[in-house]
Amino acid sequence: MILTLAGQVDGLVARGEHAPFAETVGIGRAGVRVAAAVHARTGWFPSIHQVDLWREEDRDGGYVLSGPEPLAARLAALASADSIAVVDDTIFSGLTMRAVLAALPRVPRVHAFCLRAVADSLASVAELAPVTAGFAATGRILEDVSFINASGLVRRGAIRRTGRPPLAFYERPEWMAAWFPMDHEKITALCRELAAELDG
């Protein structure tokens, strides 16, 4: 399935009205872009703050969160708000969104938003705050459901690794074979060529 920004925003907006939030936390540049796009349609997010937080692969095959500063310190300035929205483009495992929600100061109204999500992961996020997704995919994470940003196929940074250089998706042959079983070698070669053009 190919998801478009407009379609996902339509889905998110259709899932209910919200009074404007006093403060909005956008998770990384992607979260800020999503919040701005939704605000242009709804007026929900008049004050958007970027918090940089990302998932990295560790050397044991698991994931850890990383960022330039402790979350609690970055979010403490929002303690006087009576409502906070947290916005990201994707909730996949839910690790990043749960970390931000857990670090927020306690305020009367908190709500999480994303363009797309794995349906099973929304349940764990909902334990911390109500959550709305523009599109939710059912199925087992990584077995039945993956999300691929087209840019991630060719730009390094799609896969962040602790203490090692980042990768693009095309540099993971086993992932490319799973996503494109019939023509993964051809697609990988095209991605490699495009990456070289972009790097040049």
Which pLDDT tens digit goes with each residue over 85-120?
999 999 999 999 999 999 999 999 999 999 999 999
Q: pLDDT means per 10 residues in the chain (200 residues)?
A: 93 97 97 97 97 90 87 92 97 95 96 96 96 94 87 93 94 94 96 92
Q: Which CATH class is domain 5-142?
A: alpha beta
Q: Which of 57, 41, 56, 45 is nearest to 88 (CA)?
A: 45
Long-range contacts of 188-194 (CB under 8 A, 24+ apart): 191/153, 191/154, 194/154
Domain segments of the chain as ranges: 5-142, 148-200
DSSP E strands, the chain: 23-27, 48-51, 54-57, 63-66, 83-91, 109-118, 131-137, 159-161, 164-167
